[in-house]
Structure 1
């Protein structure tokens, strides 16, 4: 009964969390549409193909996505004492959050090229769209090179777009703009350092639990949690080193727990909920903690199966089920869930160290985020 009660409480918190994110999505998305509409008037975008690529960037930015980063910016601003219903503050949040979201588009486009991913947020990836359109347009050359090249340029465009709403904002002070851009750019740089380490790990063919957990934060956590929270601190004018350190002490373990849950969903989730194929991580041979721990625990026969199937580009659903059965049978799935839970507990302990004068309602929100990190299905 206690477990059922706790599950109901967590589900209620998750609903509350997504409701908050939805509110801020409704503030940010119309402004994103206005931003891209204005960019269409750029005379250098004038060629039909330029506008078409711009539309693909806009579509990916607006398609799906939970807008949790936007919610993190707003909730941290409120947590540290700013009235987020004030129109000037709200505009500052929205302008900053637009930059955060477009930066994420940039990261996703490039990540999809590297992973050769066919789907993102329930639709085709940009490189896949242009690879498939190549023969229909009777172009000459290599379809894949063309698709990858267009997507690479689209991703590069997105990083410049990410800076514009902040630079041109009338709600942000000059000092605030510099601080926010520095946070945004630094998070992007660190994410790419993580991507380089990830590439090295894949070609090296070996990894450790410590390396996987470190990469979980560098590749995703910096841009998804820590940077938005630090931006919120700047907006609240409470971005002292002590405050930023306390926010990071929460953001780091929360991000790692969320990434471990992503890895579980990447193997056991449903495509219609995830917006991507649950076969893709296995086909890529992605070295997750789930796979590492399964290898450690597997018997010789199970190891042979893993060696054959993990990384098989054309892996079938039936073959993927064989891998899933081994993951469960070895206890690796339970181990990763327990590890994620430890990071949730660590994040919740960090909450206890937050200032007594920090917003109670917002602390409740961030506690809900930690539970949602391991309870969500997408």
Structure 2
């Protein structure tokens, strides 16, 4: 059954890649843009390039498998929902790269740095156009749902889901920044950030949209869907934070230690500070927020963490939350289809085993 699931995942990814490309092909012709504007087509080009450069498309997979919980028949509205999910993701990437001053994204220049290169003598213009590009992606993510060929009630419910997901994500981005101004944020704060910033739009919204498209009423199962999404979101964020220091830089395609240099009070930083002695704590704290921190210093902190057993403890925590999430999904067997439930049981474990 796992092999069948993996084959379905590949199929979803391939089909969506074609769908996304076709969407941008038609968007340029259908968007109401003044004939004199050169900046608007350029903005659409940058959004297209970023959107089509890849990503795991796991949100699209979750959407389709959520519909399969209710039926294995073709379901109208999934294409529109998939486009909406990934356009909201594009919005988030554009703004995240601006907030983090990131030069690259998915193997190419970030939207912000593409604009900085074009408007070298006009930094405010580059920043403004970056914000507006992200805003346009958000508006398009809602527009595709408004244009979906589904019953009015379903369309309205889908728009409500995505609007709420976007609102929660913005709140998550705000508290993510706030977290790093909090002295020693506790685990509950980190869980809350992971929930709002990631889990609600990456996991909960695809679940809700897929069920809505398939004729279900996700509001009837709100608590268990939220619990599942939150637990998987925590697993995923822990894994991201773990890989940032203890991952394989070659496999990830980026250097380790970014969170430390950026001063982020991540799960890994919290685990480090809880495990080290006073001398080692001073070393970690000196690196935290130091953009000039050398690879050698990052390697030394990694070695300290390994010696203190931080990777093992973090992996044990990830497995614990993954098991809790899988148990929530297992409870769906009495209501929904076996093979789709099995998929959602496996998702948390895949989340904590990934290498990138």
- Give me the TM-score of the superposition, normalised by structure 1: 0.88
Q: Which runs of 5+ in 2 are unaligned?
A: none
Query: CA separation of 1:319/1:132 partners in 2, compared to 1, >3 Å: closer, same or farther?
Result: farther
Measured against aligned partners, the alpha-carbon deviations of 1:44-80 in whole angstroms (never above 9, x if no partner) come to: 1643322122111111111121111111111011112
Q: Distance in 1 between matches of 2:256 and 2:34?
A: 37
* Aligned mates of 1:156, 1:261 — CA distance in 2: 29
CA change 1:123–1:45 in 2 (3 A) is farther
Helix, strand or coil at the partner of 1:203: coil
Q: Name the counterpart of 2:141.
A: 162
Q: Distance in 2 between matches of 1:45 and 1:103?
A: 25
> Which residue does the alignment assign to 2:182?
204
- Contact 1:22 / 1:67 at 8 angstroms: preserved in 2? no
Alignment size in residue pairs: 354
**TM-score, length-scaled by structure 2:** 0.93
Offset at 1:133? 3.2
CA deviation profile, 1:249-307 (whole Å, cap 9, x unmatched):
32221111111111111223345543544332222111111111211221121111112
1:225 matches 2:203? yes
Structure 2 residue matching 1:255: 3-state secondary structure: helix
2:96 is the alignment partner of 1:111: yes
Equivalent residue for 1:63, pick from 47, 53, 64: 53
Report the Cα offset of residue 221 of structure 1: 0.4
Q: Give the alignment of 1:1-378 within 5 angstroms.
A: 13=2, 18-41=6-29, 42-44=31-33, 46=35, 47-83=37-73, 86=74, 89=75, 91-135=76-120, 140-141=121-122, 143=123, 145-170=124-149, 172-378=150-356
Separation (CA, whole Å) in 2 of partners of 1:225 and 1:129: 30
Q: Distance in 1 between matches of 2:66 and 2:18?
A: 22
Q: 1:266, 1:281 within 8 Å by CA — same for their partners in 2?
A: yes
1:6 match: none
Q: CA deviation at 1:241?
A: 3.0
Q: Is the 8 A contact 2:208 2:218 kept in 1?
A: no
Considering only aligned residues, what root-mean-square deviation do their CA atoms show, in Å? 2.0
